[in-house]
Amino acid sequence: MMNKMGIPISHGYYTPLVLKTALHWADTLGMLKHVFHVINVGADLEISDTINHEWKMKVEEIRDIYISNALKKTYRAVDEAGGDRKLIKDSSIICGKIIDSILKEVKDKDLSFLVLGPKTHNEWGELFLGSTTERLLKATKIPILVVKNEDVVKPKNVFWATDLLDSVDESLKWIIKLNQVFSINLTICHVKTNENFQQKLNDIENELNKIKCPFQVAVIDGAHKNVGELIVKETQQNEYDLIVFGAKRKQSILSLFLGSTEEYLIHNIDKSFLLINHTS
Protein backbone atom coordinates (compact mmCIF):
# COMPACT_ATOMS: atom_id res chain seq x y z
CA MET A 1 0.00 0.00 0.00
CA MET A 2 2.82 2.37 0.79
CA ASN A 3 6.53 2.28 1.49
CA LYS A 4 7.82 5.59 2.84
CA MET A 5 6.49 7.74 5.67
CA GLY A 6 7.25 11.44 5.88
CA ILE A 7 7.58 12.84 9.40
CA PRO A 8 8.04 16.63 9.35
CA ILE A 9 8.71 17.88 12.90
CA SER A 10 8.66 21.38 14.34
CA HIS A 11 10.37 20.72 17.71
CA GLY A 12 7.20 22.09 19.28
CA TYR A 13 4.90 20.74 21.97
CA TYR A 14 3.54 17.84 19.89
CA THR A 15 6.86 16.70 18.39
CA PRO A 16 7.55 13.90 20.96
CA LEU A 17 4.06 12.44 20.46
CA VAL A 18 4.23 12.80 16.66
CA LEU A 19 7.57 10.96 16.58
CA LYS A 20 6.42 8.25 18.97
CA THR A 21 3.29 7.64 16.89
CA ALA A 22 5.02 7.85 13.51
CA LEU A 23 7.89 5.55 14.45
CA HIS A 24 5.52 2.91 15.83
CA TRP A 25 3.18 3.12 12.84
CA ALA A 26 6.09 2.93 10.39
CA ASP A 27 7.53 -0.15 12.09
CA THR A 28 4.12 -1.80 12.34
CA LEU A 29 3.21 -1.03 8.72
CA GLY A 30 6.66 -1.93 7.41
CA MET A 31 7.51 1.52 6.07
CA LEU A 32 10.75 3.43 5.71
CA LYS A 33 10.95 6.62 7.77
CA HIS A 34 11.90 10.08 6.56
CA VAL A 35 12.20 12.57 9.43
CA PHE A 36 12.83 16.16 8.44
CA HIS A 37 12.75 19.60 9.99
CA VAL A 38 11.99 22.74 8.01
CA ILE A 39 13.90 25.85 9.05
CA ASN A 40 11.55 28.72 8.32
CA VAL A 41 12.65 30.93 5.43
CA GLY A 42 13.33 33.77 7.85
CA ALA A 43 16.14 31.75 9.33
CA ASP A 44 17.65 30.87 5.95
CA LEU A 45 20.73 32.92 5.16
CA GLU A 46 20.82 33.65 1.45
CA ILE A 47 24.19 34.31 -0.13
CA SER A 48 24.06 37.24 -2.50
CA ASP A 49 26.46 37.67 -5.41
CA THR A 50 26.80 41.31 -4.47
CA ILE A 51 28.63 40.72 -1.18
CA ASN A 52 32.35 40.18 -1.02
CA HIS A 53 34.10 36.83 -0.58
CA GLU A 54 34.85 37.33 3.11
CA TRP A 55 31.22 37.96 3.97
CA LYS A 56 30.12 35.00 1.85
CA MET A 57 32.40 32.75 3.88
CA LYS A 58 30.96 34.13 7.13
CA VAL A 59 27.39 33.61 5.95
CA GLU A 60 28.14 30.06 4.81
CA GLU A 61 29.79 29.28 8.13
CA ILE A 62 26.83 30.59 10.13
CA ARG A 63 24.36 28.72 7.95
CA ASP A 64 26.29 25.46 8.28
CA ILE A 65 26.37 25.83 12.06
CA TYR A 66 22.62 26.53 12.13
CA ILE A 67 21.83 23.47 10.02
CA SER A 68 24.23 21.27 12.00
CA ASN A 69 22.61 22.27 15.30
CA ALA A 70 19.14 21.66 13.84
CA LEU A 71 20.16 18.18 12.68
CA LYS A 72 21.57 17.33 16.12
CA LYS A 73 18.32 18.49 17.69
CA THR A 74 16.34 16.32 15.28
CA TYR A 75 18.43 13.24 16.04
CA ARG A 76 18.05 13.88 19.77
CA ALA A 77 14.28 14.10 19.37
CA VAL A 78 14.28 10.75 17.54
CA ASP A 79 16.39 9.19 20.31
CA GLU A 80 14.08 10.52 23.02
CA ALA A 81 11.06 9.12 21.16
CA GLY A 82 12.60 5.66 21.33
CA GLY A 83 13.67 5.53 17.70
CA ASP A 84 16.99 4.43 16.27
CA ARG A 85 18.50 7.17 14.14
CA LYS A 86 20.56 4.55 12.28
CA LEU A 87 17.36 2.96 10.98
CA ILE A 88 16.00 6.25 9.67
CA LYS A 89 17.28 6.09 6.13
CA ASP A 90 16.90 9.67 5.01
CA SER A 91 16.69 12.48 7.56
CA SER A 92 17.34 16.07 6.64
CA ILE A 93 17.15 19.75 7.48
CA ILE A 94 15.46 21.96 4.90
CA CYS A 95 15.52 25.74 4.58
CA GLY A 96 12.48 27.38 3.06
CA LYS A 97 8.82 28.18 3.49
CA ILE A 98 7.26 25.47 5.62
CA ILE A 99 4.32 24.34 3.50
CA ASP A 100 6.17 24.66 0.19
CA SER A 101 9.07 22.67 1.64
CA ILE A 102 6.83 19.88 2.89
CA LEU A 103 5.07 19.59 -0.46
CA LYS A 104 8.40 19.56 -2.28
CA GLU A 105 9.73 16.89 0.06
CA VAL A 106 6.66 14.73 -0.57
CA LYS A 107 7.37 14.90 -4.30
CA ASP A 108 11.17 14.66 -4.24
CA LYS A 109 11.32 11.80 -1.72
CA ASP A 110 8.28 10.01 -3.14
CA LEU A 111 6.56 9.97 0.24
CA SER A 112 3.34 8.00 0.44
CA PHE A 113 2.16 8.94 3.94
CA LEU A 114 2.55 11.92 6.28
CA VAL A 115 2.34 12.13 10.08
CA LEU A 116 1.92 15.61 11.56
CA GLY A 117 0.93 17.36 14.76
CA PRO A 118 -1.91 19.85 15.32
CA LYS A 119 -1.73 23.59 15.82
CA THR A 120 0.89 24.80 18.29
CA HIS A 121 2.17 28.19 19.40
CA ASN A 122 5.53 28.09 17.68
CA GLU A 123 6.82 28.83 14.21
CA TRP A 124 4.33 26.27 12.87
CA GLY A 125 1.48 28.04 14.63
CA GLU A 126 -0.53 28.41 11.45
CA LEU A 127 0.20 24.91 10.15
CA PHE A 128 -3.04 23.43 11.40
CA LEU A 129 -6.51 24.89 11.50
CA GLY A 130 -5.28 27.89 9.51
CA SER A 131 -5.00 28.81 5.88
CA THR A 132 -1.63 27.09 5.44
CA THR A 133 -2.94 23.82 6.84
CA GLU A 134 -5.87 23.89 4.46
CA ARG A 135 -3.43 24.35 1.62
CA LEU A 136 -1.33 21.40 2.76
CA LEU A 137 -4.28 19.07 3.28
CA LYS A 138 -5.86 20.12 -0.01
CA ALA A 139 -2.73 20.01 -2.15
CA THR A 140 -1.32 16.74 -0.79
CA LYS A 141 -2.67 13.64 -2.50
CA ILE A 142 -1.43 11.09 0.06
CA PRO A 143 -2.92 9.98 3.39
CA ILE A 144 -2.18 12.28 6.34
CA LEU A 145 -2.34 11.27 9.99
CA VAL A 146 -2.86 14.22 12.35
CA VAL A 147 -1.75 13.25 15.86
CA LYS A 148 -3.59 14.84 18.78
CA ASN A 149 -3.57 12.25 21.59
CA GLU A 150 -1.57 9.36 23.02
CA ASP A 151 -4.19 6.72 22.18
CA VAL A 152 -3.44 6.93 18.47
CA VAL A 153 -0.02 5.32 18.96
CA LYS A 154 -1.79 1.93 19.13
CA PRO A 155 -5.39 2.65 18.15
CA LYS A 156 -8.10 0.19 19.12
CA ASN A 157 -11.42 2.03 18.85
CA VAL A 158 -11.65 3.48 15.35
CA PHE A 159 -14.45 5.63 13.95
CA TRP A 160 -14.87 5.62 10.16
CA ALA A 161 -17.05 8.31 8.59
CA THR A 162 -17.99 7.35 5.03
CA ASP A 163 -20.36 8.55 2.33
CA LEU A 164 -20.44 5.00 0.86
CA LEU A 165 -19.67 6.22 -2.66
CA ASP A 166 -17.29 4.47 -5.05
CA SER A 167 -14.31 6.33 -3.57
CA VAL A 168 -14.91 4.49 -0.30
CA ASP A 169 -12.81 1.58 -1.61
CA GLU A 170 -9.51 3.33 -0.83
CA SER A 171 -10.64 4.02 2.73
CA LEU A 172 -11.72 0.41 3.13
CA LYS A 173 -8.20 -0.72 2.17
CA TRP A 174 -6.88 1.35 5.04
CA ILE A 175 -9.48 0.04 7.47
CA ILE A 176 -8.45 -3.51 6.56
CA LYS A 177 -4.78 -2.62 7.02
CA LEU A 178 -5.43 -0.99 10.40
CA ASN A 179 -7.25 -4.10 11.54
CA GLN A 180 -4.38 -6.32 10.42
CA VAL A 181 -1.78 -4.42 12.44
CA PHE A 182 -3.79 -3.07 15.39
CA SER A 183 -6.81 -5.44 15.71
CA ILE A 184 -9.30 -2.58 15.87
CA ASN A 185 -12.90 -2.27 16.99
CA LEU A 186 -14.62 -0.32 14.23
CA THR A 187 -17.62 2.00 14.16
CA ILE A 188 -18.89 2.79 10.67
CA CYS A 189 -20.81 6.04 10.47
CA HIS A 190 -22.84 6.95 7.39
CA VAL A 191 -24.93 10.10 7.24
CA LYS A 192 -27.83 9.20 4.96
CA THR A 193 -28.74 11.87 2.44
CA ASN A 194 -30.45 9.48 -0.02
CA GLU A 195 -31.65 5.87 -0.15
CA ASN A 196 -28.93 4.50 -2.46
CA PHE A 197 -26.48 3.30 0.16
CA GLN A 198 -27.56 -0.12 1.44
CA GLN A 199 -25.84 -2.27 -1.21
CA LYS A 200 -22.47 -0.59 -0.68
CA LEU A 201 -22.87 -0.93 3.07
CA ASN A 202 -23.66 -4.63 2.66
CA ASP A 203 -20.52 -5.08 0.55
CA ILE A 204 -18.38 -3.41 3.21
CA GLU A 205 -19.89 -5.53 5.97
CA ASN A 206 -19.12 -8.67 3.97
CA GLU A 207 -15.47 -7.61 3.58
CA LEU A 208 -15.15 -6.87 7.28
CA ASN A 209 -16.71 -10.19 8.21
CA LYS A 210 -14.16 -11.97 6.00
CA ILE A 211 -11.27 -10.47 7.97
CA LYS A 212 -13.10 -10.92 11.29
CA CYS A 213 -13.00 -7.23 12.14
CA PRO A 214 -15.55 -6.44 14.85
CA PHE A 215 -17.75 -3.51 13.85
CA GLN A 216 -20.97 -1.68 14.45
CA VAL A 217 -22.88 0.60 12.08
CA ALA A 218 -24.50 3.95 12.73
CA VAL A 219 -26.71 5.31 9.94
CA ILE A 220 -27.91 8.85 10.56
CA ASP A 221 -30.58 10.80 8.70
CA GLY A 222 -28.75 13.79 7.28
CA ALA A 223 -31.28 15.26 4.90
CA HIS A 224 -31.19 19.07 5.02
CA LYS A 225 -28.65 19.00 7.87
CA ASN A 226 -24.97 19.84 8.34
CA VAL A 227 -23.34 16.46 7.66
CA GLY A 228 -20.02 17.46 9.22
CA GLU A 229 -21.72 18.61 12.40
CA LEU A 230 -23.59 15.30 12.69
CA ILE A 231 -20.35 13.33 12.28
CA VAL A 232 -18.47 15.37 14.86
CA LYS A 233 -21.33 14.88 17.32
CA GLU A 234 -21.12 11.12 16.76
CA THR A 235 -17.36 11.10 17.41
CA GLN A 236 -18.02 12.65 20.80
CA GLN A 237 -20.37 9.88 21.92
CA ASN A 238 -17.53 7.45 22.71
CA GLU A 239 -13.80 7.44 23.43
CA TYR A 240 -12.36 6.86 19.97
CA ASP A 241 -8.62 6.62 19.42
CA LEU A 242 -8.73 7.52 15.74
CA ILE A 243 -11.17 9.11 13.29
CA VAL A 244 -10.91 8.06 9.64
CA PHE A 245 -12.51 9.90 6.73
CA GLY A 246 -11.84 10.52 3.05
CA ALA A 247 -11.46 13.60 0.87
CA LYS A 248 -12.54 13.50 -2.75
CA ARG A 249 -10.56 15.44 -5.35
CA LYS A 250 -9.77 15.45 -9.05
CA GLN A 251 -6.35 15.61 -10.70
CA SER A 252 -6.69 19.23 -11.74
CA ILE A 253 -6.75 22.69 -10.25
CA LEU A 254 -9.93 21.56 -8.53
CA SER A 255 -7.77 19.32 -6.34
CA LEU A 256 -7.09 22.40 -4.23
CA PHE A 257 -10.65 22.32 -2.94
CA LEU A 258 -12.19 19.92 -0.46
CA GLY A 259 -15.88 19.50 0.15
CA SER A 260 -17.64 21.36 2.92
CA THR A 261 -17.94 18.20 5.03
CA GLU A 262 -14.19 17.50 4.91
CA GLU A 263 -13.45 21.14 5.73
CA TYR A 264 -15.76 20.97 8.75
CA LEU A 265 -14.21 17.75 10.05
CA ILE A 266 -10.65 19.08 9.69
CA HIS A 267 -11.55 22.14 11.74
CA ASN A 268 -13.74 20.54 14.40
CA ILE A 269 -12.57 17.00 15.21
CA ASP A 270 -10.76 17.10 18.54
CA LYS A 271 -9.21 13.63 18.23
CA SER A 272 -6.43 12.23 16.05
CA PHE A 273 -7.61 11.71 12.50
CA LEU A 274 -6.52 9.99 9.33
CA LEU A 275 -7.42 11.88 6.17
CA ILE A 276 -7.43 9.59 3.11
CA ASN A 277 -7.32 11.29 -0.26
CA HIS A 278 -9.35 9.82 -3.10
CA THR A 279 -7.99 11.11 -6.40
CA SER A 280 -10.00 10.54 -9.56
User: Are residue 140 and residue 186 in the same domain, yes or no?
Assistant: no
pLDDT at position 252 is 45
Mark whether 17 and 123 lie in a shared domain: yes
195 lies in the same domain as 218: yes
Last residue of a domain, one of 80, 114, 146: 146
- Rounded CA-CA distance 68/93 in Å is 9
The whole-number mean pLDDT for each consecutive block of 10 residues of the chain, a chain of 280 residues, reads: 84 92 96 90 52 71 84 92 85 85 92 83 44 65 92 97 84 96 97 82 95 95 84 94 83 50 86 82
Is the domain of 133 the same as that of 201? Answer: no
Residues 12 and 141 in one domain: yes
Question: Cα–Cα–Cα angle for 277, 127, 15, nearest 5°?
Answer: 95
Residues 129 and 16 in one domain: yes
CATH number at residue 48: 3.40.50.620
Of 112, 146, 180, the position where a domain reaches its end is 146
Rounded Cα distance, 161 and 246, in Å: 8
- Per the CB < 8 A criterion, the answer to whether 168 and 175 are in contact is no
Mark whether 161 and 192 lie in a shared domain: yes
Pick the last residue of a domain from 146, 172, 196.
146
249 and 141 assigned to the same domain: no
Q: What angle separates helix 168-182 from helix 15-29, to the nearest 10 degrees? A: 90
CA distances from 182 to 26, 94, 176, 276 (A): 13, 33, 10, 18
pTM (predicted TM-score): 0.86
Looking at the structure, tell me whether residues 133 and 262 fall in a common domain: no
List the domain range (segments joined by +) for residue 214. 150-279
Q: Verify that 126 and 196 share a domain, yes or no.
A: no
One domain, residues 14 and 87: yes
Q: Which amino acid is at 118?
A: P
> Cα(52)–Cα(30) distance, rounded to whole angstroms?
50
> C-alpha angle with apex 171: 166 to 175, nearest 5 degrees?
135
Are residue 87 and residue 205 in the same domain, yes or no?
no
242: helix, strand or coil: strand
Per the structure, the count of domains in the chain is 2
pLDDT of residue 119: 60
